[in-house]
Amino acid sequence: MKWTLQAISSELDNQNFEIIDSTVLVGRHQNCNLVLQSSKISRKHAAFHIKDQQLWLEDLQSSNGTFINEIQIDRPTQLESDDVIQFADLQFRVLASNESTTYANEDTQNADVNDVAHESTHQQPAQSNDASVEQKQSVVKDHATEVQETPSKAPQQSSRMVGIVIFVVAIIIAFVVWSMSK
């Protein structure tokens, strides 16, 4: 069985993504195999699994949910041809054909521009130096809403700023109390 995701959302320009590996990780993190740059997509949003030629979809505790035919899923769910899946607000149609596809070993992460690879939820994705994977990711990024990563220093700067504001307010209150006691 050959599985393909047909993008329905206008942001993805009706692209098709063929699933050729046994597991495909979907999210906005750069290590995901199908990178969807939208603020509503979790870093590791969902995973596709192929078991016995059947396609399964699993939500990875995403913030905005994973849906099959408008029903939110909370456990691995088997997909059928023509199912509409949704990651946050991005929609795809599942297409199945009887063409046989040889699935790559889970340790091998090969993909071309229209291919998608995945990982299980318990292992890190294999790092691929294959330029075609980066090209595939850039194609998806070009047609999706860009999300800027928050620098890791931002929470520290925010906490520091709150501390400074509290200190200044305390000094002002102390000055007002001191002035009134004169």
Phi-psi map region of 22: left, alpha, beta (phi>0 left; psi -120 to 50 alpha): alpha
In a domain, 57, yes or no: yes
* pLDDT, one tens digit for every residue, the chain (182 residues): 899 999 998 888 888 988 888 899 999 999 988 999 899 999 999 999 999 999 999 999 999 999 999 999 999 999 999 999 999 889 999 999 887 655 443 333 333 333 333 333 333 333 333 443 444 444 444 444 444 444 444 455 667 788 888 889 999 999 999 989 87
In a domain, 181, yes or no: no
**Placement of tokens 């090969």 in the chain:** 110
In a domain, 54, yes or no: yes
In a domain, 155, yes or no: no
Q: What are the pLDDT digits (tens) for 57-80? A: 999 999 999 999 999 999 999 999
In a domain, 165, yes or no: no
Q: Are strands 77-78 and 115-116 parallel, antiparallel or unpaired?
A: unpaired
Domain that holds residue 14: 2-97
Helix, strand, coil share of the chain (percent; to 5):
25, 30, 50
In a domain, 25, yes or no: yes
pTM: 0.55
In a domain, 121, yes or no: no
In a domain, 119, yes or no: no
Name the nearest CA neighbour of 24 among 41, 10, 6, 4. 4
Query: Who's near 72: CB < 8 A, 6+ residues apart?
Result: 59, 65, 66
Q: What is the CATH number of the domain that holds 54?
A: 2.60.200.20
- What domain count does the chain have? 1
